[in-house]
Amino acid sequence: MGSSEVSYERRGAAAVLCIDRPARRNAVDAATAAGLRQGLERFEADEEARVLVLTGAGEAFCAGADLKALDLDLDAPEGPLGFSRLTPSKPAIAAIDGWCLAGGLELALWCDLRIATPQSALGFPERRWGVPLVDGGTQRLPRVVGMGRALEMIITGRPVEAEEAERIGLVNELVEPGRQLERSLELAERIATFPQETMLSDRRAALEGAGMPLAEGLELEHRLGREVLDVAVRGAARFAAGEGRRGEGV
């Protein structure tokens, strides 16, 4: 992949992208950012990889930008941390253990879902050093937890422990220590079993419609839903024939 700082591995229906700089708490320098971007490109090009799982090696998810290196390109169109100004065409899950701070939290917010361990902590401590959020934090955090809680985290830099993060919706699920990657892969396999066309269409409608007036969002939903109507018809026929009536959950 062109960077020893990031590993890419196919695990079933998932592609696991791992920041591998444990000595620096997986802080991102220019080489790591390039590796993350290349990993996303590889994931997008692989039609059999249905979900991207983003994680970190060792005792941290990611501590943000490497402030000792200071070599990130702030004007990179894809984003300083590799892909933070892009939107993946398929779901992404953050598997979080330990520190998820600054740009690391922005990377986690870039994902659709966040699975974390009880010892995880999430926040924007760069507030103390006057470092701005430039990898999507000011835009994605309010969409996840609401403006009031987002402004508190952005303005004060207060770290949020895992239990509170789950309570406010910043984290989707807490799992036992060490099980964050396993659970993320379980979710990826479940997501991969769904008809992909309609799942991706609904995901796109939710993401693109988030900033629209309601009437425009409903029109977007209608248009995208019509484009995959044939998949819905086939699915309804399978249901009528008795498939999937037990309603098994994720």
Asked if 176 is an active-site residue, the reply is: no
Q: Which of 5, 126, 166, 221 is catalytic?
A: 126
Angular region, 247: left φ>0, alpha ψ -120 to 50, beta rest: left
Asked if 126 is an active-site residue, the reply is: yes
The upper half-sphere exposure of residue 110, i.e. CA atoms within 13 Å in the direction of its Cβ, equals: 27
Q: Which of 41, 47, 106, 176 is catalytic?
A: 106
Closest C-alpha to 231, from 205, 200, 203, 210: 200
- The span from the CA of 156 to the CA of 153, in Å, is 6
Angular region, 2: left φ>0, alpha ψ -120 to 50, beta rest: left
Which stretches of the chain are assigned E, i.e. beta strand?
6-11, 14-19, 51-56, 60-62, 92-96, 99-101, 113-116, 121-123, 160-161, 173-174
> Listing from the earlier edge strand, what are the strands of the sheet with 121-123?
60-62, 99-101, 121-123, 160-161
Known catalytic residues?
106, 126
